[in-house]
Amino acid sequence: IDYGVYLLLLNLISIQISKTLGFVSGALFNFFMNRLFTWKVKSQVSKRFIRFIVLYIFTLIANVLSNDFSLNLLQSQMYYIQISFLIATSISTILNFLGQKFWVFR
C-alpha cells in the first residue's frame, strides 16, 4: 500500500508528501490488520490506536528523513528512488515492529 501510493503520487506532488501519504495509508491498513491477525488484540482499541499514532509519527519522521538522506546520497546511482524507499521502509519496519510488540499491543 505504501509503495503503491508513493509511486502513484510521485509525479503529481513533492516526493516528501508522496512518501508521507504512502506511509500513512500503509499505517492505517497496518493497524487494523495487525490488531486482528498478528497480535489478536480486541480490547482497549482507543488506547492502542493513540499509542499506534504516536509510534507512527515517530517512525514517519524516521522514514521520510532516511528516504531523503538516501535519495541525496544515492542520486547518481541507478534505481536510487527504489533503493531509498527500501532503506527507509526497512528502518521504519523494524522500529514499528518493536514499538508495536513492546508498547502498542503488549
23 has a pLDDT exceeding 90:
no
- Cell 490506536 found at: 49
pTM: 0.77
- Domain encompassing residue 24: 2-104
pLDDT band at residue 106, thresholds of 50, 70 and 90?
confident
Mean pLDDT of the chain: 93
Where do runs of H (alpha helix) occur along the chain?
A: 2-9, 15-33, 45-74, 80-99
Task: Specify the 3-state DSSP secondary structure of 36.
Answer: helix
Number of folded domains that form the chain: 1
Provide the pLDDT for residue 77.
87
**Among candidate residues 23, 29, 100, 1, the one with its CA nearest the CA of residue 68:** 23
pLDDT of 76 > 90? The answer is no
Please tell me whether residue 77 adopts helix, strand or coil conformation.
coil
